[in-house]
Structure 1
Amino acid sequence: MNPPAESLLKYDHPVLIGKGRPLKVGPQQVRGQSTPVPPPPKSKPTSTDTTKQEILNAILPPREWTEGTELWMQQVSSAPPIITDVIHLKELLDTKLPPRQASQTGICSVRRELHSQCFDELIRQLTINCAESGLLLSRVRDESRMNIAAYQTLYESSAAFGMRKALQSEQGKVDMEKKITDLDNEKLELKKKLNELKCQHDANEKRDTERRQIEEKKLVEEIQVLKRSNLQLKVTFQGFIPQKYIFPLHLFLWWMWL
């Protein structure tokens, strides 16, 4: 495995800790020097330095990697920070953003990673000066990372939910279009049936009108025939009965009719 890449977090020189051991990658094993070199000789650490280093290792765990059969470890630096370290950190952050094509706005994983490294370096510097402040700031860092992870999970769930709803709406759209097509076809069939019923109604009405006219004509002709027959019978009847009996006979018939 290649050594970790360069990081904004300041580390000590890598140390060879063994051979043939399995690799253990800590949370901070993300950046490092390109080539491990033996550490320079150091003076015997005091109890205070040991305590600070333990706190730093708890907040920012050392990173390990293998080269062939050699296992190397690199701890965060416990060197006291100076004002130039902060200025150099800012310049280094501004220098690394453009080459990695970090977006200036919106969500950008590259920009977030570099700022996270910068924040870890600030925690390291503050922990060396005041361990309690470093521990509190690391707690704020962990809370922020937990919130970001929760937001990312929520976003992924929302995106999946939105995709499912989009697919459902697309399927619903297809079903609705099919239903509209079926209703249009049914509408055309009903219109066709309505036109047929109208034609049938018009034909029946025309046939009834013609039949009624024929029957009326027949009745008129029968009435005319009956009137002519009545007139002939009246003339014949008046020829057989004397004139003086006609008026009393009319009165009798009128009385019988009443």
Structure 2
Amino acid sequence: MQLASSFFFLCLQPFFTLLLLIFLDRLVQHFQGIEGRRARRATKKRRGREGEKKKGKTARTPTEVMSHQAVEALPTPPTTTAAGGGGRGMTPKEEVDAVKRRYIFVDGPVDPNVSLIRYELPFAPSDPKRSLKLRRRLGLPLDERAVDPNVRIVIDSFITPRAWHDEAGVLWVQHGSPHPVSRTETVETHEKLRRRMQELGVRRTGICPLRSLLLAECFLEVIRQVTAECWERGLLLLKIHTERTAAQTAHRELFESRVGHAFRLALKGEKDTSRVQQDIEALKRRTEELAEEEKVLRQECDELASNGEEQMLILEKLHADEITALKKEGVQKRNQLEQMVALPPTL
């Protein structure tokens, strides 16, 4: 009976496992649906508030709506209002905090001979006249080319704008270039990468951190070039790059954890080996001590055996002498008895 019940439960175990998996899947889908509905409601509320704030202004184009939905999670680019401190009346401390969150503070503009990423001309958000003076001094047109805001959002999401203060305390900002490049400029980027690898003396094979950094920087420049031509394609390429980087980081962490685990096992093995060696030495010493004791005991046994044989011989000799004496005495007694019996009776 017990065997039949065990067989019955064994047959029903896959069925119950399948039911449990289906229940867990439905439960996960239920919670995901709840989170999705909450996120959609929050998005609708946020868009409703933004629509109320922007009431009276022109509606966004379909492209802008697509970009807002596609890159909603990406950081927004720095604006003149945040950098210049105008718009909503922020305090000086809030302005400094906002600028620090949006920019990377450096010592000056990027060196085009060193950086593989192409940046646009720096500008002063709080002082447009200085920006115009710089463009006039470099012989560039005063009117900048129109830039798609979607391109700016995507590029600033992976190329953080640079910022610094000059001697007069004016804030200067430098963004990644949002303009497309020609085939010649792409070839120049390739040549710059090759030249930088030669200057730094990177290894072409094996693990080389410098080569990895240069290739990562060059890949960001390629993403920037693709984004400047088509921000949707650039956004897709950026997502692939992010996933690849995350996977590489996860593999590195896994490798480091495995190496650490192996190192700990090696240390434990060394400790165990030393302990086993100590035990072996102790057992060897104990074996030698027991061998000495065995030798002493064997000598005592041999001495006892030899003494026993001598005593046995002595006792056998004494016993034989006693038997001989008793035999002689018996013969004498017999002779005396025969003589007494053989005498005639006296008259």
SS of match in other structure, 1:72: strand
SS of match in other structure, 1:15: coil
Match of 1:143? 243
1:131 to 226, 231, 251: 231
Match of 1:168? 268
Residue 204 in structure 1 maps to residue 300 in structure 2: no
How far, CA to CA, are the matches of 2:341 and 2:313 in structure 1?
A: 41
Deviates more, 1:204-213 or 1:52-61: 52-61
Residue 12 in structure 1 maps to residue 97 in structure 2: no
How far, CA to CA, are the matches of 2:290 and 2:172 in structure 1?
A: 85
1:80-99 equivalent positions in 2, closer than 5 A: 80-99=180-199
- Give the C-alpha shift of residue 101 in structure 1: 2.7
SS of match in other structure, 2:200: coil
1:226 to 319, 323, 326: 326
Deviates more, 1:206-215 or 1:3-12: 3-12
2:159 to 60, 81, 86: 60
Between structures 1 and 2, the one with greater helix share: 2
**Is residue 93–residue 114 contact of structure 1 (8 Å, CA) maintained in 2?**
yes
- Alignment length, in residue pairs? 225
One-letter amino acid of the structure 1 residue matched with residue 150 of structure 2:
T
- Give the C-alpha shift of residue 63 in structure 1: 2.4
Say which one has the larger Rg.
1
Where do 5+ consecutive residues of structure 2 fail to align? 1-105, 128-132
How far, CA to CA, are the matches of 2:250 and 2:266 in structure 1?
A: 24
Distance 1:45 1:87, change over 3 A: closer
User: Taking CA–CA contacts closer than 8 Å with sequence separation of 6 or more, which of the two structures ends up with the larger relative contact order?
Assistant: 1
- Give the C-alpha shift of residue 66 in structure 1: 4.2
**Identical pairs, percent:** 27
How far, CA to CA, are the matches of 1:77 and 1:44 in structure 2?
A: 12
How far, CA to CA, are the matches of 1:155 and 1:222 in structure 2?
A: 96
Post-superposition Cα deviations, 1:62-92, rounded to whole Å, max 9, x if no partner, equal 2234455443321111222211122222222
Distance 1:239 1:67, change over 3 A: farther
**Is residue 59–residue 135 contact of structure 1 (8 Å, CA) maintained in 2?**
no
Distance 1:38 1:174, change over 3 A: farther
Deviates more, 1:225-234 or 1:60-69: 60-69
Post-superposition Cα deviations, 1:211-252, rounded to whole Å, max 9, x if no partner, equal 111111111111111121122222222222249xxxxxxxxx
- Give the C-alpha shift of residue 187 in structure 1: 1.1
Distance 1:93 1:38, change over 3 A: same
- Give the C-alpha shift of residue 139 in structure 1: 0.3
Match of 1:2? 107
- Give the C-alpha shift of residue 157 in structure 1: 2.0
2:134 to 21, 27, 38: 38
One-letter amino acid of the structure 1 residue matched with residue 134 of structure 2:
P
TM-score, with structure 1 as normaliser = 0.78
1:227-246 equivalent positions in 2, closer than 5 A: 227-242=327-342
SS of match in other structure, 1:7: coil
- Give the C-alpha shift of residue 135 in structure 1: 0.5
Match of 2:51? none
2:177 to 55, 77, 83: 77
SS of match in other structure, 2:171: strand
- Runs of 4+ in structure 1 deviating by more than 4 angstroms, as ranges, are none
One-letter amino acid of the structure 1 residue matched with residue 175 of structure 2:
Q
CA-based RMSD of the aligned residues comes to 2.4
- Give the C-alpha shift of residue 18 in structure 1: 5.5
Deviates more, 1:135-144 or 1:62-71: 62-71
SS of match in other structure, 1:106: coil
**Is residue 102–residue 111 contact of structure 1 (8 Å, CA) maintained in 2?**
yes
1:149-160 equivalent positions in 2, closer than 5 A: 149-160=249-260
Distance 1:224 1:124, change over 3 A: same
Where do 5+ consecutive residues of structure 1 fail to align? 20-36, 244-258
Deviates more, 1:37-46 or 1:158-167: 37-46
